[in-house]
């Protein structure tokens, strides 16, 4: 696909930029540091290519910006869209740190108020059915897992969570493709 | 990722399809800017979206007779089973989200299924840089509940009787203050359960999309198992990223990705994707920091022209970057560049 590969190449370009910066800052890194640097640059490049229009990209950038070590890298990769990203990341940071608990609490209060009103109607529905309640519990558990997986997913309702997952999966796949080809190329070059 | 076949949804009723796309177009009054990278990457779900959009047309019978409804806001039946409404909900939401698919000023609606899909290709080509307009998550997330519901209900009304569609498209051009929903026979009709049903339908539609995306998930029925598969898939992708970064870290004693590496890597990328594209032409956009080591001077491709995406010849692409590369005065790399040039030439011949 024409634009798909152009996106991948954009991602690759930004990623390489980030890696170069990492390399120029530190001379000798252990393999762990290198891995971390690589992964970090890859994630940031991914998020920046996505232009911070999605929640998970903003969450990635925000979580990266909280760590002070990565500031230079962050600035470099994200530097071009600085204003947008800063605003977005500040937004996400504010959300994630302070108001997640509040959001959850408010949702619970809402649900409780609804539940009091609709308890009669709900009893008509086959909620007492054991399979149904079991399924509900399973689904709840799994959505919780998914929320932990997708960056920035903790404070989202189910609908946006699914959309974010959709988006995130596609981009993860692209990231894996690019990284795999780069790894293969570098291994081939080094004659391994 | 291979481009999926675009002829997936071409088998629907032309009249209904034209009506539907016209309806959608009237809903998407200002067509937002073209797609960013999402639809480009999201090839399969796009066709799936179109399929979801068009598939309920065939089984859906227009003009379903309304059983004597209650007084007050008119309640009409959803077409056929609930599947029609679901898919339409998906369609309207997806139309909101993939505007390039449905937002073109396309006059010939008869061949709309093909044209609508070919249009976003050209449009996404012309705008490779993603627009600031969000695609997946609207900035007005809080309004999300209301807007798609209204659109969906408008869709439902249009689907109910194809003959009335023209009137309704004129009616629904403005924002409706109230939500007019059709309730199925024998179901509760108060606002809470309706809203709940709308929400459930939305969730189910999106889960269908996710099912399409994850391989091997279409056969699984049941939300919990599908979610399980999705979680496994995402986890495996994340683990792959970790493994690959470890691999890269191990392969390079230092994190030095020079141009040879990039060229070779671009070859593999290009081979796997679109053959007529060459990456190095994008390097001119790179801003080089002067404090970089001289090793990194290769990045200064200021003299390279911007690529013409279509109709390039591979030979031409290959000669130009090599020439500009060779003109650099980095003696340490000249030898490697020569060797790499020959290797690239050899690789191209393959």
How many angstroms away from the CA of B142 is the closest CA of chain A?
A: 11
Q: What's the pLDDT tens digit per position in B89-141?
A: 444 444 444 444 333 443 443 443 344 344 443 444 444 444 444 444 444 44
Does the distance separating the beta carbons of B227 and A183 come in below 8 Å?
no
Minimal Cβ distance to B228: which of A2, A10, A142:
A142
Residue numbers in A near B333 (CB within 8 A)? none
Task: Compute the count of residue pairs across chains A and B with CB atoms less than 8 Å apart.
Answer: 247
d(Cα A61, Cα A46) in Å, to the nearest integer?
10
Q: What's the pLDDT tens digit per position in B128-187?
A: 444 444 444 444 444 444 444 454 455 444 444 444 444 444 444 455 566 666 666 777
Q: Are A165 and B136 in contact (CB under 8 A)?
A: no
How many angstroms away from the CA of A23 is the closest CA of chain B?
A: 6
**Structure-token pair, residue B163:** 């003959």
**Structure-token pair, residue B236:** 């495996």
Whether the complex's predicted ipTM surpasses the cut of 0.90: no
What does chain A come to in residues?
Answer: 192
Does the distance separating the beta carbons of B222 and A2 come in below 8 Å?
no
Could you give phi then psi for residue B234, rounded to 5 degrees? -65, -40
Q: Which of residues 76-95 of A touch B (CB under 8 A)?
A: 84
Q: How far is CA B238 from CA A64, A173, A175, B221, in A?
A: 17, 9, 10, 25
Q: Which of B224, B284, B298 to mutate to test the interface with A (most CBs of A within 10 A)?
A: B224
Does the distance separating the beta carbons of B203 and A7 come in below 8 Å?
no
Does the distance separating the beta carbons of B252 and A186 come in below 8 Å?
yes
d(Cα A184, Cα B8) in Å, to the nearest integer?
34
Q: What's the pLDDT tens digit per position in B24-56?
A: 555 554 444 444 445 545 544 444 544 444 444
Q: Which of B245, B262, B285 to mutate to test the interface with A (most CBs of A within 10 A)?
A: B245
């Amino acid at each position: 696909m024409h634009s798909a590969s152009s996106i991948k190449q954009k991602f690759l370009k930004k990623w390489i930029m980030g890696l170069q910066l990492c390399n120029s800052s530190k001379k000798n890194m252990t393999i762990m540091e290198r891995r971390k640097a690589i992964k970090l640059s890859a994630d940031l490049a991914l998020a920046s290519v996505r232009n911070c229009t999605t929640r998970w990209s903003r969450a990635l950038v925000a979580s990266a910006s909280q760590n002070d070590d990565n500031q230079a890298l962050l600035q470099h990769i994200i530097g071009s869209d600085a204003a947008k990203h800063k605003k977005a990341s500040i937004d996400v940071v504010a959300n994630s740190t302070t108001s997640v608990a509040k959001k959850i609490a408010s949702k619970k209060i809402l649900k409780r108020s609804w539940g009091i009103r609709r308890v009669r109607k709900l009893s008509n529905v086959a909620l007492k059915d054991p399979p149904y309640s079991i399924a509900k519990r399973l689904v709840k558990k799994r959505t919780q897992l998914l929320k932990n997986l997708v960056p920035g997913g903790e404070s989202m309702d189910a609908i946006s969570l699914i959309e974010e997952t959709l988006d995130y999966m596609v981009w993860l796949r692209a990231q894996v493709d690019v990284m795999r080809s780069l790894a293969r190329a570098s291994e081939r070059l080094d004659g391994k | 990722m291979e481009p999926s076949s675009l002829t997936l949804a071409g088998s629907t009723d032309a009249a209904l399809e034209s009506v539907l796309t016209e309806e959608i177009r009237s809903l998407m009054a200002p067509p937002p800017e073209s797609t960013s990278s999402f639809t480009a990457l999201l090839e399969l779900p796009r066709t799936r979206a179109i399929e979801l959009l068009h598939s309920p047309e065939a089984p859906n019978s227009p003009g379903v007779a309304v059983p004597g409804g209650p007084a007050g806001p008119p309640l009409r039946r959803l077409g056929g089973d609930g599947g029609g409404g679901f898919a339409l909900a998906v369609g309207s939401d997806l139309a909101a989200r993939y505007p390039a698919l449905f937002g073109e000023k396309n006059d010939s609606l008869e061949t709309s299924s093909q044209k609508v899909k070919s249009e976003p290709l050209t449009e996404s080509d012309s705008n490779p840089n993603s627009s600031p307009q969000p695609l997946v998550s609207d900035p007005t997330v809080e309004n999300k509940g209301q807007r798609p519901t209204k659109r969906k209900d408008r869709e439902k009304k249009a689907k109910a009787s194809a003959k009335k569609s023209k009137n309704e498209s004129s009616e629904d051009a403005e924002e409706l203050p109230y939500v007019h929903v059709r309730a199925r026979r024998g179901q509760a009709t108060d606002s809470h359960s309706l809203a709940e049903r709308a929400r459930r339908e939305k969730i189910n539609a999106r889960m269908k999309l996710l099912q399409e995306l994850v391989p091997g998930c279409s056969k699984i029925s049941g939300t919990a198992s599908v979610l399980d598969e999705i979680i496994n898939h995402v986890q495996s992708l994340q683990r792959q990223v970790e493994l690959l970064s470890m691999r890269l870290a191990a392969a390079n004693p230092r994190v030095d990705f020079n141009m040879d590496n990039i060229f070779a890597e671009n070859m593999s990328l290009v081979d796997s994707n679109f053959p007529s594209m060459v990456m190095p032409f994008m390097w001119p956009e790179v801003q080089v920091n002067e404090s970089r080591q001289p090793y990194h001077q290769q990045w200064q491709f200021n003299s390279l022209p911007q690529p013409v995406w279509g109709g390039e010849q591979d030979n031409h692409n290959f000669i130009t970057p090599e020439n500009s590369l060779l003109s650099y005065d980095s003696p340490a790399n000249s030898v490697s560049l020569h060797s790499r040039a020959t290797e690239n030439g050899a690789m191209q011949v393959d």
